[in-house]
């Protein structure tokens, strides 16, 4: 049976890193007879340039029809002055919301080979393996009302709404507890229940849902403390579950613990494990076109795609092992480079992963 993959490279370094991930997927598709079919679409700034919208109907249709989506990155200086509704990020947010990809899995796992690339001491990050489960289709990102309004005194006022309904919290809670069960069975829910009612409810629902998972140890942290703990003693965490905006912020922090945000993949899943897979980093317009971006986060996102949406575990594992092997061979893009290593381009890194796979390792 064929499986359709929608490929949305997007803007900035998106196309460069997707090219490398596709090299890997094309090879495994043939080598392991996976039956994958690929179809490309436009999203973000490049879609705006062609269609006048960052999220064209054709792209939505392509994504809906696909079994999984491989996504690069969106955004760039060129589109920054557009109305917020037309900015590239709306393409990404639209996709998340239209496909109800409410569960965003953001693993922050340290490759031991990169312990010295972290800005934290190697002994602080040694063994780091955190899974951040970020709620992705609710909260302040989507809450209504929102906008910029004119007050009676002619002053402008910006406003957004942080809302969470019980059912939204419940479904992300179940997802996080299930993931914790497959790991170290420790779940930390992050909120701001001391100030925000929406997250007071968040905490309450987390506790209620926890009764279905007596084997999982649930703890709670306020987001400010969680941010501090993440850089103080990050290995205390197994799974973290949190709101859309807190997850956005904490996942960037967690990413840096691993040495480079250029290493980390992510999955955004709906209730049936259909998903969109993307590197955690953005479009990095400052380095786009220079051939220096790290393609490993995207290559590892392709591995997550095979694992979570297509249940092709052996193929996923082959990719992950190939990535570990190129790191063992001391190949480094500039973001993870340190003395004594061999600095390579985006393309050379992709080629090296491919060569590992061709060796049958
Ligand atoms: C992310 C990004 C997005 C977000 C932006 C590009 C809209 O920062 O995926 O973390 O805020 O969710
Ligand atoms: Mg972010």
For the chain, list the domains and their CATH numbers: 1-104+294-361 (3.40.718.10)
Does 361 score more than 80 pLDDT? Answer: no
Please write the tens of the pLDDT for every residue from 314-336.
Answer: 999 999 999 999 999 999 999 99
Q: Is 31 a catalytic residue?
A: no
Query: Ligand 1 centre from 244 Cα, in Å?
Result: 10
Neighbour-count burial of 60, counting CB atoms closer than 10 A to its CB (0-12 exposed, 13-18 middle, 19+ buried) = middle
* pLDDT (average), residues 198-223: 98
Query: Ligand 2 centre from 249 Cα, in Å?
Result: 6
- Residue 308: DSSP 8-state: I
Q: Are the beta carbons of 356 and 319 closer than 8 angstroms?
A: no
Q: Which residues contact 30 (CB under 8 A, 6 or more apart)?
A: none
Please write the tens of the pLDDT for every residue from 259-309.
Answer: 888 899 999 999 999 999 999 989 999 999 999 999 999 999 999 999 999
Question: Which residue's alpha carbon is nearest to atom 1 within ligand 1?
Answer: 248
Phi, psi of 296 (to 5 degrees): -65, -35
Whole-number pLDDT of residue 118:
86
Q: Is 308 a catalytic residue?
A: no
How many other β-carbons are positioned within 10 Å of the β-carbon of residue 235?
15
Q: Is 67 a catalytic residue?
A: no
Q: Give the orientation angle of helix 166-181 with respect to helix 197-210, to 10 degrees.
A: 50
CA–CA distances in Å: residue 261 to residues 83, 185, 219, 281: 28, 26, 27, 6
Query: Ligand 1 centre from 248 Cα, in Å?
Result: 6
Whole-number pLDDT of residue 259:
81
Whole-number pLDDT of residue 338:
86
Ligand nearest to the CA of residue 249, numbered in listed order: 2
* Whole-angstrom distance, CA of residue 226 vs CA of residue 206: 17
* Whole-angstrom distance, CA of residue 24 vs CA of residue 15: 15
Q: Are the beta carbons of 224 and 193 closer than 8 angstroms?
A: no
Q: Is 224 a catalytic residue?
A: yes
Indicate the average pLDDT of the chain.
Answer: 96
Ligand 1 proximity of 95 Cβ (cutoff 6 Å):
no
E strand or H helix that includes residue 46: helix 45-51
Q: Residue 136 has which token pair?
A: 């992705």
Q: Which residues contact 94 (CB under 8 A, 6 or more apart)?
A: 54, 55, 60
Ligand 1 atom closest to Cα of 74? 6
Indicate which residue of 31, 49, 121, 224 is catalytic: 224
Q: Among residues 103, 98, 109, 44, which one has the least CA distance to residue 71?
A: 44
* Whole-angstrom distance, CA of residue 245 vs CA of residue 162: 10
Q: Among residues 74, 8, 92, which one has the least CA distance to residue 284?
A: 74
Please write the tens of the pLDDT for every residue from 134-169.
Answer: 999 999 999 999 999 999 999 999 999 999 999 999
Q: Among residues 288, 35, 335, which one has the least CA distance to residue 343?
A: 335
* pLDDT (average), residues 217-241: 98
Ligand 1 atom closest to Cα of 278? 9
Query: Ligand 2 centre from 250 Cα, in Å?
Result: 9
Ligand nearest to the CA of residue 136, numbered in listed order: 1
Ligand 1 proximity of 248 Cβ (cutoff 6 Å):
yes
Taking the mean position of all CA atoms in its chain, how far away is CA 207?
A: 26
E strand or H helix that includes residue 92: helix 89-98
Ligand 1 atom closest to Cα of 75? 6
Whole-number pLDDT of residue 256:
87
Query: Ligand 1 centre from 115 Cα, in Å?
Result: 26
Ligand 1 proximity of 276 Cβ (cutoff 6 Å):
no
* Whole-angstrom distance, CA of residue 339 vs CA of residue 192: 42
- Residue 237: DSSP 8-state: -
* Whole-angstrom distance, CA of residue 176 vs CA of residue 249: 18
Q: Residue 99 has which token pair?
A: 């496909």
Whole-number pLDDT of residue 144:
98
Neighbour-count burial of 25, counting CB atoms closer than 10 A to its CB (0-12 exposed, 13-18 middle, 19+ buried) = buried
Q: Is 238 a catalytic residue?
A: no
Whole-number pLDDT of residue 5:
98
Ligand nearest to the CA of residue 266, numbered in listed order: 1
Please write the tens of the pLDDT for every residue from 102-123.
Answer: 999 999 999 988 888 888 999 9
Please write the tens of the pLDDT for every residue from 165-199.
Answer: 999 999 999 999 999 999 999 999 999 999 999 99
Indicate which residue of 4, 51, 178, 252 is catalytic: 252
Peptide bond preceding 145 in cis form (omega within 30 of 0) = yes
Residue 71: helix, strand or coil by DSSP? strand
Q: Are the beta carbons of 257 and 234 closer than 8 angstroms?
A: yes
Confidence of residue 23 (pLDDT cuts 50, 70, 90): very high
């Amino acid at each position: 049976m064929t499986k359709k993959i929608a490929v949305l490279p997007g803007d900035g370094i998106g196309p460069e890193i997707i090219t490398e991930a596709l090299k890997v997927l094309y090879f495994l598709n043939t080598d392991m007879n996976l039956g994958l079919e690929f179809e490309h679409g436009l999203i973000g700034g490049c879609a705006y340039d062609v269609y006048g919208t960052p999220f064209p109907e054709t792209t939505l249709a392509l994504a809906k029809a696909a079994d999984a989506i491989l996504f690069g990155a969106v955004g760039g200086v060129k589109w920054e002055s557009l109305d917020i509704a037309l900015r590239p990020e709306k393409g990404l947010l639209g996709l998340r919301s239209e496909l109800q990809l409410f569960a965003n899995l953001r693993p922050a796992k340290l490759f031991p080979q990169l312990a010295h690339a972290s800005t934290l001491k190697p002994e602080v990050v040694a063994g780091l393996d955190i899974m951040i489960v970020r709620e992705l289709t609710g909260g302040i990102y989507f809450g209504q009302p929102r906008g910029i309004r004119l007050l009676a005194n002619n002053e402008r006022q910006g406003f957004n709404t942080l809302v969470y309904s019980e059912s939204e919290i419940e479904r992300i809670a179940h997802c996080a507890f299930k993931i914790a069960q497959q790991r170290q069975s420790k779940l930390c829910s992050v909120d701001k229940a001391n100030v925000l009612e929406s997250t007071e409810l968040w905490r309450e629902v987390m506790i209620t849902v926890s009764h279905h998972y007596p084997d999982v140890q649930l703890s709670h942290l306020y987001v400010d403390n969680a941010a501090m703990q993440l850089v103080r003693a990050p290995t205390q965490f197994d799974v973290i579950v949190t709101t859309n905006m807190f997850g956005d912020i904490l996942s960037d922090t967690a990413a840096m613990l691993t040495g480079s945000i250029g290493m980390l993949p992510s999955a955004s899943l709906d209730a049936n494990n259909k998903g969109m897979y993307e590197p955690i980093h953005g479009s990095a317009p400052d380095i786009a076109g220079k051939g220096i971006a790290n393609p490993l986060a995207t290559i590892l996102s392709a591995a997550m795609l095979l694992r979570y949406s297509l249940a092709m575990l052996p193929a996923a594992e082959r990719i992950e092992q190939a990535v570990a092997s190129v790191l063992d061979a001391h190949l480094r893009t500039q973001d993870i480079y340190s003395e004594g290593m061999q600095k390579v381009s985006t393309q050379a890194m992709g080629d090296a992963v491919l060569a590992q796979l061709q060796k049958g390792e």
